[in-house]
């Protein structure tokens, strides 16, 4: 399920009326989600980053998963959305 559909389902579930017709609101949510995805720099698989770094002439020395210190509901949301933050440490290959 995509983010706009999830948001619309949740709003319907808790009986929140939409500020505009359903189709227009969904289109606005989709545009926002697309823009956010474009600016997040997300990768589906952390190995993609390793391959890009290697293609750019770097060797990956270490990967560190950043675990945010947030309350349980946000931790659950982050896990559901697979929003991991990973720091890659590398050096130029010889």
25 or 78: which leads in pLDDT: 25
Reported as a pLDDT band with limits 50, 70 and 90, residue 80 is confident
Calpha distance 42→54 (Å, rounded): 18
Rounded to an integer, what distance in angstroms lies between the CA atom of residue 51 and that of residue 53?
5
85, containing H or E segment? strand 85-92
Q: What tokens were used for 46?
A: 């952390």
Q: Residue 42: which pLDDT band, with cuts at 50, 70 and 90?
A: low
Q: How would residue 7 be classed by pLDDT, with cut points 50, 70 and 90?
A: confident
């Amino acid at each position: 399920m995509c983010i706009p559909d999830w948001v619309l389902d949740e709003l319907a579930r808790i009986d929140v009326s939409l500020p505009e017709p359903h189709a227009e609101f969904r289109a606005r949510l989709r545009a926002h989600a697309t823009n956010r995805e474009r600016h997040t720099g997300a990768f589906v698989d952390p190995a993609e980053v390793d391959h890009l770094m290697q293609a750019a002439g770097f060797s990956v020395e270490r990967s560190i998963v950043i675990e945010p210190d947030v309350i349980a509901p946000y931790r659950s949301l982050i896990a559901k959305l697979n929003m991991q933050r990973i720091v890659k440490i590398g050096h130029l290959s010889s």
